[in-house]
Amino acid sequence: MSHLSIQLPGLELKNPIMPASGCFGFGKEYGKLYDLSKLGAIMIKATTVETRFGNPTPRVAETPAGMLNAIGLQNPGLEKVMKNELPYLEQFDVPIIANVAGTITEDYVEVADKISAAPNVKALELNISCPNVKHGGITFGTDPVIARELVEAVKKVSKVPVYVKLSPNVTDIVEIAKAVEAGGADGITMINTLIGMRLDERTGKPVIANGTGGLSGPAVKPVAIRMVYEVYKAVKIPIIGMGGVSNAQDVIEFMSAGASAVAVGTANFVDPFVCPKIIEELPEKLDRLGVKYVKEIIGRSHR
Amino acid sequence: MIQQERMIVVRQSEIAQHIFELTLQGQIVQDMAPGQFVHIRVSDSFEPLLRRPLSIANIDKEAGEATIIYRAEGRGTEILSTKQIGDEVDVLGPLGNGFPVDAAPEGGTVLLVGGGIGVPPLYELSKVLNARGIRTIQVFGFATEDVAFYEEQFSTLGDTHFVTVDGTNGTKGFVTDLLEELKPEFDLFYACGPLPMLRALERFYPEKPGYLSFEERMGCGIGACFACVCKTTEATDQDYVKVCSDGPVFPKGVIQL
């Protein structure tokens, strides 16, 4: 067994590092830069039943140690993802986690049913936390009863384990985490972006056309660590942690808080080679801690 | 092939008000073509976080040097303007698809139109075209004389006309005002500048083939983040294009203006 390998429901990870959904497209751009088989897994961009163009531009704005985005779930739609995007990724030895989004329960169920049948999709990530669409998304992620019902509905049709991506834009994230666990979720991924806003110096109006955007990057890491720490104590299902991960030290921090694996988001935009760099750095960081297997550090802050 | 490299600053100077000319040395230069851009991380810290997309003004493959000309107007470019000779800069590139130089007919004449900080990539393009024996007529617009640059450099390559909004250098007004007066004869045009200028050019020369280079707020610069998408016209079979990886240069009529 490799020192970096991690076993999770549906996922045999070579290492605990994966690009986060929305920060890696469907892999094609990064596939030109390095061998995607190096990655633990890939969380592909959110897929909806229909083709979506997303929000008007500007869609991104830089903030101190972070960025706001309001892309708005732009994607080619379920059919094209199945036909064009997933087959491309089959050439790599890497499990795919398909991010599933929609407006109503039936949308999630339809995408989950079909996309979970793709040979390289080993798990689903239910996106109940996108802050940038007017309907669906986050409305499922802020009410524990609705979140639980959605998980139950998707679990009935999915052929692979179902992870649920939680929003930090709630009063009590533990309550939502417990609800999705009770609904049968196999794991939790957290956190999605924090809703934020930036105003133009000159006009006083929002920089992003959508008004608000989701804050990501190093600025949100302490919030994410705190939430992973709390949720780890409250649920038995594994957590894939994310929020401002930029280097191997951040990975260790997330795993110490309770994450079994870690997703890298915004850092891919800053340095497209960041994921393989972290994978390369990780063994040395573990050596320094006197740790042989990376899984030993999961939740060590609670021991 | 997109590469990441720590390039070395070999020269930097302010050539007009807040306009800097920065020359970097590195391997990436060997892969550069006119109209492409580089994505520069101005600091090794998280502040500012994102890279800055900057067009390439001059490519010297023999010396392994590339020059970029940019306006220091925000946190990122202001930090970049403080880089000294010998400093290292984290560069990702070359990115995007440049100007299709083969589109210019042998022995023909092309019109180059630039506005403000959109002028720089046209310099390398002009050099390449002239080296191929293609004649260039060059029309550039600036807000005022203080922010105008490269008049001499362009003059050595072809007919060069400057326009300023306030009339402090050349004709007063916009590039289209001068074009109306000049009525240049040419086979095709290449342009880079603000959207109103590109829009005006499309309307001004409906019969001429042309290529436009676009600027848009970017995240990753490689096509993954979907920050820089633009809606396309009905003349294309795509719903949208990404300025960074599908462009930044597009044939006229592709992007909705």
Whether A134 has a pLDDT exceeding 80, the answer reads no
Task: With respect to residue B37, please indicate whether it lies within any of the assigned structural domains.
Answer: yes
- Does A275 qualify as catalytic in the annotation? no
- Asked if residue B58 and residue B152 are part of one domain, the reply reads no
- Asked if residue B135 and residue B179 are part of one domain, the reply reads yes
- Asked if residue B195 and residue B139 are part of one domain, the reply reads yes
Best of B4, B52, B77, B225 to disrupt the A interface (most A CBs within 10 Å) is B225
pTM here is 0.94
CA dist B27 and B77 (Å) reads: 23
- Asked if residue B206 and residue B123 are part of one domain, the reply reads yes
- All residues of chain A having their beta carbon less than 8 Å from the beta carbon of residue B220 are 29, 268-269, 272
Query: Per-residue pLDDT tens for A34-69?
Result: 999 999 999 999 999 999 999 999 999 999 999 999
Task: With respect to residue B226, please indicate whether it lies within any of the assigned structural domains.
Answer: no
Q: What is the mean pLDDT of residues B121-127?
A: 98
B231 touches chain A (CB under 8 A): yes
For B221, which residue in chain A has the nearest alpha carbon?
Answer: A269
Cβ contact B201:B212 at 8 Å: yes
B window 45-84, beta carbon within 8 A of A: 46-51
Task: With respect to residue B237, please indicate whether it lies within any of the assigned structural domains.
Answer: no
- Asked if residue B45 and residue B138 are part of one domain, the reply reads no
CA dist B209 and A135 (Å) reads: 43
What pLDDT is stored for residue B239 in this prediction? 85
- Asked if residue B202 and residue B120 are part of one domain, the reply reads yes
State the residue range of the domain holding B83: 3-95
Task: With respect to residue B149, please indicate whether it lies within any of the assigned structural domains.
Answer: yes
ipTM rounded to 2 decimals: 0.92
Residue that terminates a domain, selected from B62, B95, B128: B95
Task: With respect to residue B209, please indicate whether it lies within any of the assigned structural domains.
Answer: yes
> Total domain count for chain B?
2
- Asked if residue B120 and residue B26 are part of one domain, the reply reads no
Structural domains present in chain A: 6-302 (3.20.20.70)
DSSP A81-132: IIIIIHHHHTTSS--EEEEE--SSHHHHHHHHHHHTTSTTEEEEEEE---TT
CA dist A178 and A137 (Å) reads: 19
Closest Cβ opposite residue A59 in set B221, B227, B231: B227
Judged by CB atoms closer than 8 Å, whether chains meet at B4 and A272 is answered as yes
- All residues of chain A having their beta carbon less than 8 Å from the beta carbon of residue B218 are 60
Best of A57, A133, A200, A275 to disrupt the B interface (most B CBs within 10 Å) is A57
What pLDDT is stored for residue B183 in this prediction? 92
Judged by CB atoms closer than 8 Å, whether chains meet at B41 and A270 is answered as yes
**Residue B57 belongs to domain with CATH number:** 2.40.30.10
- Asked if residue B162 and residue B142 are part of one domain, the reply reads yes
**Residue B164 belongs to domain with CATH number:** 3.40.50.80
- Asked if residue B198 and residue B127 are part of one domain, the reply reads yes
What pLDDT is stored for residue A136 in this prediction? 64
How would residue A130 be classed by pLDDT, with cut points 50, 70 and 90?
confident
- Asked if residue B141 and residue B119 are part of one domain, the reply reads yes
- All residues of chain B having their beta carbon less than 8 Å from the beta carbon of residue A51 are 239
